[in-house]
Structure 1
Amino acid sequence: MTVTTTLPHADAVSLADQQLADWLKREGCEDPPPAASPLEASPYAVDPPVTGPSNADSPAGPQVERLRLGDRVLLDRDHGPLRGSPATGHYSRRRLRTPAPHGTQQLTLTIATAAAGPTWVRLEAETHTTGSGLRTPCRVPVPELARSLLPLLDATDGPAAVQLAPRVITAAEVDDLIDELCDPERRLPTVVASVPVNVPVDGWTESVVRPLCQQLPGLATAYVLDPGARTGFNVALEYHTVYGGAVRTYLPEVDPASRYDGARHPVLARGRIEQDVRRAAGLLAREPRRLAAELPLPPVLAAVPVLRIPPSQPRPDAASCADPVAARAELAALAREEQQDRAEQQARADELERVRRTLRRARRTRPGRAHAAPGRLCAPSTAPVVGPVVGTLAGPFVGAPGVPRTTVLPDPVAGPDDNPDTFTELLSRLGEFPLLTFTGDQKSALALDELQCAGAGWARLAWDGLTALQEYAEAAVRGEAGGDFKQWCEHTPDGCHRFPPRKAVRGESRTVHSHTKWKRERMLPVPECVDASRRAFMGAHLRIGGGRTAPRLHYLDDCSGSGRIYVGYIGLHLTNTRTN
C-alpha cells in the first residue's frame, strides 16, 4: 500500500504506533515502549547510530532499535534523514516480524515526508516460508493495520480518497470520477462496479460489491455506479464502458479517446462474480497487487535508506583491553564491514528501483502501447519490452530477422490448465501471449458472454486457439514452423498444444473478397508498421463455435514481417452468404 496523507509527519507516526500497539496487545504480545521522536536520538537503541554511506554528509544518521516483544516477535524501529541531506526530509519505519505457519510474517510500515510536500505512507506485508511445509505459494492477506489506518490517515492517491469500502457514485459525480481516472498523478487502479438493471443499488453493493472488494483496501479505490451515473459514465467513456453487473479495473493513465486503450482495463463479468464471489475477489485483486509491487516508488520513499540492524554482540572496548591498539583496529575493521554490508544492501535496493523505472518507461514509450494489454509486446521497438515483474527475469527472446531482441516476462496468473470460462477473463489474460496482439473491439467479444446457450465452451476453445497461435508464432519467427498455421495444426510438433485443423481456416471465399461490404467488415485494425492505412484484410480465422453463425476469431499472420500475429476480431460470425 502506497498512499499520501495531509497529516504532519509526527501525527502520522503517532497514529501508526498506536494502531500497531493495539494490534500487538490483541495478539497477546508485550506493549512496546514509546518510540523516540523522529528528530531525537532513540533511548532504546541497541547500538550507536549506524550511518549509511549515502548519509555520510548528514550530521545524524538513522537511529535504530530492536525490541523483543514475545516468542519470535521482533519489532525494529528506525528513523532519520532521507538520503541526501537533513534538509531533504525525514522518515520513520517500523518492521514487525511474527511467527506464521511454516515461516515468518513480516510487516513493514514506512512514513516519509519531504521538506515540501505531503507525507507518504507505505505498508508492505510479506510471508517468508522455510522448509517444504507449503506446497503452493500463499497469498498474503490484507493486513489489519491497513484497514485500521486508512480511515485515520484520510489517505489519498492523487485526487482520489482511498477508502475501505466502495462508494456509490451519482450522476452529478460522474465528471469528477472521469477526471480522477484520467489524472496523471493516479498510481492506484480504480475499480468501478455497475449494477444490473432492476436491482436495488444498496442491496447489490452490500451483497456483491463489498465482498468482492475485500482484498482491495489500500491497493485500489472502488466505486459503484447508480443507474443515472452508469448512463452518463458509459456515454462519456465510449471505449471503456461497464454495465450489466460487471466490474471493471481502470489502470493508471486512461485514454478515453482511444479505442485500443480499452483493452488494457480488464472486465470481470457478472456471471463470473455470482458463480463464486470469493474466487472473483481474488481475480479482481490480481492487477492491483501486481501494480503495487511493480510501480516505482515515489522519490520521497525511494530516498529512505535500507534498514540494517547493527550486530547485538558486544564490541571490544579499547580502554579495557590489554592491547588497545589491536582493539581499535578490530573496531575499525567491524565498522568497515558494517559500512560495506550496508552499501551492498543499498545498491541492491537502488538497482531494483532502477529496474522498476525502466519497465515503466519502456511501457510508456514503446510504439503502439495502447494496442496491447499490460505485459504484452505490441510492435517491434528498440526499447526493451517486458511484462509484469514477478520473481525473476526470463531469458531473452529472439524475434524475426530485423526485429530487436526483447525480454519477455510472462504473467503467471494461471496454470496451464486454467482456461478462462468467459471472454471477459480471456481478454484480461491476453498478456499471457507475448507474440499475439489484440487490435479489435472488445465489445464484440464481451457480447458473447451474454449468450448463455454456449456456456463456457466458446471461451475455452478460443483460448485453445490462441495458445496454439502463440506456439506457432514462436516457431515461425525462428523459421521452424514448416508452413502456415493450418499446416502447423495438421502436423503439430510433439509437446505443443493441438488445435483441430478443421477449425483453422486459411481465408475467406472468393465471394467474400468480391463483396465490398463483406470485405470491409474484415478490414481490421493493425499497427502502422504493418500497413500505413492501419487496416488489413484478415481472412484467416478460427472457428471457435459450432454452426454457421457461431463465433469466429480473425487474425493476421505477420510473423515474417513484424514477428507477430494480430487478432483483429473475436465475435459472432461476420456476414457472408450463409449468415443472416
Structure 2
Amino acid sequence: MTSDRFPPSARAGLPGPRGPATPYRMTVTTALPHDDAVALADQRLAAWLKHEGCDEPPPAPHRSDTADVPAERLRLGDRVLLDRDGGPLRGGPGSGYYDRRRLRTPAPHGTHQLTLTVATGAEGRTWVRLEAETHTTGSGVRTPCRVPVPELASGLLPLLDAADGPAAVLPVPRVLTAAEVDGLIDELCDPERRLPTVVASVPVNHDLDAWVADVVRPLCRQLPGLATAYVLDPGARTEFNVALEYHTVYGGAVRTYLPEIDPASRQDGARHPVLARHRIEEDLRRAAGLLAREPRRLAAEQPLPPPLAAVPVLRAPVPGVRAGTGPDDAPSRAERAALAREERQDHAEQQARADELERVRHSLRRERRQGRRLPADEPSGGAVGVLRRGVQARGPVGRLCVGTGGASGRRPVLPGSAARPVAPGDRALAVVPDTFTELMARLGEFPLLTFTGDQKSALALDDLRCTGAGWARLTWDGLTALQQYAEAAVRGAAGGDFKQWCEHTPAGCHRFPPRKAVRGESRTVFSHTKWKRERMLPVPECVDTSRRAFMGAHLRIGGGRTAPRLHYLDDCSGSGRIYVGYIGLHLTNTRTN
C-alpha cells in the first residue's frame, strides 16, 4: 500500500483506520546469533519510532536464559505503548530462549498492534516472527480486507539474511537465468520449505526489465515475508518448463507453488494456483490481492515451528493499586493480591487458547495431507534426481496448445494428448482432455474456478469409459464456460447467472447447452436431510465459516440415472470465484434412490 493511503502507524506495518483486517504474519529463520537478531530488530524499531516523533525506548534489560524477564511497559507517546519481555522457552532449562516486542499505536477506530518475536531452540536455529493486526472499538466500522505488509518486515528481511529452508526471503522478486533453475527446483522440492514460492513468467517479445518494473514488482507488493518470489528470464522459462512438465508457467502468467510439491505427479499440478496474464493486466491492484490470498491463508494456518510454539503468551504488566498509609494499607494489599490472582488466571486462559489454536493448525495440516494422498498407481517420487532423470528421458517438449494456465502464452501438451497449434487466447480450440485423470490435473488452467471436493469421485469415472464416452470432454466444456462466465461476472458484465449466460452466450465465448445448466435442486431434495447433506460441499472459510455450503446448482454431464454431475457454488459477487465441490456420478435423489 502507498503511504498516502495510510497514516504513519500503518506505514510502519500496521493496518489502516477502518477496523479489524486479516492479520499479517511472517515466519522466517536467520543465521545470525539470537542476540544480534534482537539488536537489529530493536535498532530498526527505534529508528521508526524516532521518525514518527515518538520517544526512543531505552536499552532492553539483559535477558536470562534460565529465568523469565518480567514484562515491562514503556509509554513512548500519546497512546504509544511498547511491551518487552524475554526468557526461557516453555519446556524447561535447555529448551531455548526468546525475546519479544509488542508495539501498540493509536488508530482512528481502535489500536494497531505489531508483535516481533525472536526464538532460538535447543538445536540453535533462530526463528523470527512478525505479526501485525488491528483491534477496533465500536461497530459498523468498515475495514480493509487485510493488514498491509509492515515497513519493519521489508527493512528486516535483508538485514537478517532471512531464509526459508535453502531459499533467501527477499522483499522484492529476483530475476533468474537458466543457470539458476536447478537451484530453484531444489528450493521447491525442499521438505523444510514453509513459504509459498511465486514464479512469474515474461510474455514473449516483451522487455524483461520493463515487465519486472511495471508488472511483477507492483504485483508482488503484498508478498514480502509471506513468500519467495522469482521472475524467469526467457532461457530460465524454457529450462523450468521442461523440468516441471506438470507445473509449468508461461506467457506472462504467475504461479504460486505451495509447500510439499511433488513435481513428478500430474495430479499435484492442480494444487498450485495460476494467475493468468489477462487477469493481471485487467486490474493490477486486484491481481496483487488475489496473488497474496494463498500466502496469507498459509501463514495463518501453518503450524508454528517448535521454538515459536514454545514461547509463552505475553504476560502484560498490570497497573498496581496505589497503597495508602496507616489502616488503609491492608485493603490495598488485598486488592493487589486479587488483581494478581485474576491476572494469573487470565494468563492461563490465554495460554490454553494459544495451545488449542496450535493443535487446530496441526490437525488442519494433517487433514490437507490426507486429502491429497495419491492413488497407488500415481507416480509420487518427489525427489529431484528422479525428476531430472525423467526430463533427460523425455527430451525437449514438442507439441503446443493453449490454456488459461498460461494466460496468453502456450503450454506443453501432456504426454499422449493429440494437439495442434492454436492462436493465443482461443480457448475453444484448446486440447480437450479425454479422461478425468487429465482433466483433474489441468484444473489450474481455470484461474477463477476452485475445486474443493474429493478427486476420487471424478477419477472413478474413468473406470466407466465403456458407458461414459465423452463425459470428460463435456465436463471440460462446462468448466470452460464457467470460467468465461466468471471472468465477466467479476467485472459485473455477465448479465445474470450462469443459466442465463448459457441461454445468451456472448459472441466469441464457449457455449454450453442451457438445458444442461441447472440452477438448483428440487424442493424434495432440499428438504430431505440425507440428500441435502450430500450436497453440503466444502468451501473456504471466507465463503462460510462452517466451511460447508449447499451446492444445488449443477451441470448435467451426459444423461441417464447415473450420469455424472458437476456441482458448484457461484460466489463471483463475493470472493470473486466459483467453487466446484463435486464431480462424479449422480448424487442421491428420487430417481437414483
TM-score, length basis structure 1? 0.66
Counterpart of 1:426? 448
Give the SS at the match of 2:64.
Answer: coil
Counterpart of 2:356? 351
Q: Deviations over 1:94-147 (max 9, x none)?
A: 101111231111000000112322210000000112213523454210011001
Structure 1: give runs of 5+ residues left out of the alignment: 41-58, 372-421, 485-494, 509-536, 543-552, 562-580
Q: Residues of 2 paired with 1:357 and 1:34: CA distance?
A: 37
Counterpart of 1:403? none
1:274 aligns with 2:302: no
Which of 312, 317, 338 in structure 1 is aligned with 2:343?
A: 338
Aligned residue type for 2:55: E
The answer to whether the 8 Å contact 2:254/2:274 transfers is yes
1:38 aligns with 2:60: no
Aligned residue type for 1:425: P
Counterpart of 2:464? none
Give the SS at the match of 2:94.
Answer: helix
The answer to whether the 8 Å contact 1:9/1:113 transfers is yes
Give the SS at the match of 1:195.
Answer: coil
Larger mean CA deviation between 165-174 and 473-482 belongs to 473-482
- Relative to structure 1, is the Cα distance of residues 200 and 557 closer, same or farther in structure 2, using a 3 angstrom cutoff? same
1:121 aligns with 2:131: no
- 1:228-243 residue pairs with structure 2 within 5 A? 228-243=235-250
1:556 aligns with 2:584: yes
The answer to whether the 8 Å contact 1:192/1:248 transfers is yes
Shift of residue 367, structure 1, vs aligned partner: 6.3
The answer to whether the 8 Å contact 1:476/1:559 transfers is no
1:5 aligns with 2:30: yes
Give the SS at the match of 2:447.
Answer: helix
Q: Residues of 2 paired with 1:307 and 1:234: CA distance?
A: 47
Shift of residue 181, structure 1, vs aligned partner: 0.8
- 1:223-372 residue pairs with structure 2 within 5 A? 223-314=230-321, 322=327, 333-366=338-371, 368=373
Give the SS at the match of 1:184.
Answer: coil
Counterpart of 2:178? 171
Give the SS at the match of 1:164.
Answer: coil
Which of 218, 221, 224 in structure 1 is aligned with 2:228?
A: 221
Q: Residues of 2 paired with 1:335 and 1:342: CA distance?
A: 10
Q: Deviations over 1:419-465 (max 9, x none)?
A: xxx963223x333x689977689x9789969x999974899849999
The answer to whether the 8 Å contact 1:189/1:288 transfers is yes
- Relative to structure 1, is the Cα distance of residues 541 and 355 closer, same or farther in structure 2, using a 3 angstrom cutoff? closer
The answer to whether the 8 Å contact 2:320/2:336 transfers is no
The answer to whether the 8 Å contact 1:79/1:93 transfers is yes
- Relative to structure 1, is the Cα distance of residues 438 and 99 closer, same or farther in structure 2, using a 3 angstrom cutoff? farther
1:63 aligns with 2:87: no
1:80 aligns with 2:87: yes
Which of 109, 123, 137 in structure 2 is aligned with 1:102?
A: 109
- Relative to structure 1, is the Cα distance of residues 306 and 438 closer, same or farther in structure 2, using a 3 angstrom cutoff? farther
Give the SS at the match of 2:446.
Answer: helix
Q: Residues of 2 paired with 1:496 and 1:364: CA distance?
A: 25
- Relative to structure 1, is the Cα distance of residues 447 and 507 closer, same or farther in structure 2, using a 3 angstrom cutoff? closer
The answer to whether the 8 Å contact 2:202/2:251 transfers is yes
Structure 2: give runs of 5+ residues left out of the alignment: 1-25, 377-443, 460-471, 503-511, 536-548, 568-579
Shift of residue 312, structure 1, vs aligned partner: 1.1
Larger mean CA deviation between 335-344 and 73-82 belongs to 335-344
Give the SS at the match of 2:585.
Answer: strand
Counterpart of 1:204? 211
Aligned residue type for 2:167: A
Shift of residue 341, structure 1, vs aligned partner: 2.0
Q: Residues of 2 paired with 1:87 and 1:294: CA distance?
A: 28
- Relative to structure 1, is the Cα distance of residues 447 and 169 closer, same or farther in structure 2, using a 3 angstrom cutoff? farther
1:507 aligns with 2:559: yes
Q: Deviations over 1:81-103 (max 9, x none)?
A: 11122321111101011112311
Q: Deviations over 1:250-281 (max 9, x none)?
A: 00000111111111111000000011111100
The answer to whether the 8 Å contact 1:295/1:360 transfers is yes
Q: Residues of 2 paired with 1:87 and 1:207: CA distance?
A: 50
- Report 1 or 2 for greater relative contact order, CA contacts < 8 Å, sequence distance ≥ 6: 2
The answer to whether the 8 Å contact 1:95/1:107 transfers is yes
The answer to whether the 8 Å contact 1:264/1:370 transfers is no
Q: Residues of 2 paired with 1:425 and 1:126: CA distance?
A: 29
Counterpart of 1:195? 202
Q: Residues of 1 paired with 2:457 and 2:201: CA distance?
A: 28
Give the SS at the match of 1:87.
Answer: coil
The answer to whether the 8 Å contact 2:189/2:260 transfers is yes
Q: Residues of 1 paired with 2:49 and 2:149: CA distance?
A: 16
Q: Deviations over 1:145-183 (max 9, x none)?
A: 001111100000011100011111111111111111111
Question: RMSD value over aligned CA atoms?
Answer: 4.3
Q: Residues of 1 paired with 2:300 and 2:74: CA distance?
A: 28
Aligned residue type for 2:31: T
Give the SS at the match of 2:448.
Answer: helix
Counterpart of 2:139? 132
Aligned residue type for 1:15: L
Larger mean CA deviation between 461-470 and 267-276 belongs to 461-470
How many residue pairs match? The answer is 439
Larger mean CA deviation between 154-163 and 99-108 belongs to 99-108
- Relative to structure 1, is the Cα distance of residues 471 and 237 closer, same or farther in structure 2, using a 3 angstrom cutoff? farther
1:19 aligns with 2:44: yes
- Relative to structure 1, is the Cα distance of residues 26 and 538 closer, same or farther in structure 2, using a 3 angstrom cutoff? farther
Q: Deviations over 1:176-234 (max 9, x none)?
A: 11111111100000000011111122221111101100000000000011111111111
Aligned residue type for 2:51: R
The answer to whether the 8 Å contact 1:193/1:224 transfers is yes
Q: Residues of 2 paired with 1:155 and 1:438: CA distance?
A: 42
Give the SS at the match of 1:285.
Answer: helix
Counterpart of 2:159? 152
The answer to whether the 8 Å contact 2:564/2:586 transfers is no
Aligned residue type for 2:246: Y
Larger mean CA deviation between 307-316 and 250-259 belongs to 307-316
Q: Residues of 2 paired with 1:285 and 1:326: CA distance?
A: 55
The answer to whether the 8 Å contact 1:321/1:327 transfers is no
Q: Deviations over 1:526-580 (max 9, x none)?
A: xxxxxxxxxxx976689xxxxxxxxxx995225349xxxxxxxxxxxxxxxxxxx
Shift of residue 321, structure 1, vs aligned partner: 5.7
Larger mean CA deviation between 285-294 and 29-38 belongs to 29-38
Q: Residues of 2 paired with 1:469 and 1:292: CA distance?
A: 36
Q: Residues of 1 paired with 2:364 and 2:533: CA distance?
A: 35
The answer to whether the 8 Å contact 1:436/1:470 transfers is no
TM-score, length basis structure 2? 0.65
Q: Residues of 2 paired with 1:338 and 1:170: CA distance?
A: 57
The answer to whether the 8 Å contact 2:446/2:480 transfers is no
Aligned residue type for 1:227: P
Shift of residue 34, structure 1, vs aligned partner: 1.4
- Relative to structure 1, is the Cα distance of residues 334 and 367 closer, same or farther in structure 2, using a 3 angstrom cutoff? same
Q: Deviations over 1:331-368 (max 9, x none)?
A: 65544333222211111111111111111112112464
Q: Residues of 1 paired with 2:167 and 2:328: CA distance?
A: 64
Q: Residues of 2 paired with 1:506 and 1:555: CA distance?
A: 13
Shift of residue 328, structure 1, vs aligned partner: 6.7
Q: Residues of 1 paired with 2:193 and 2:122: CA distance?
A: 22
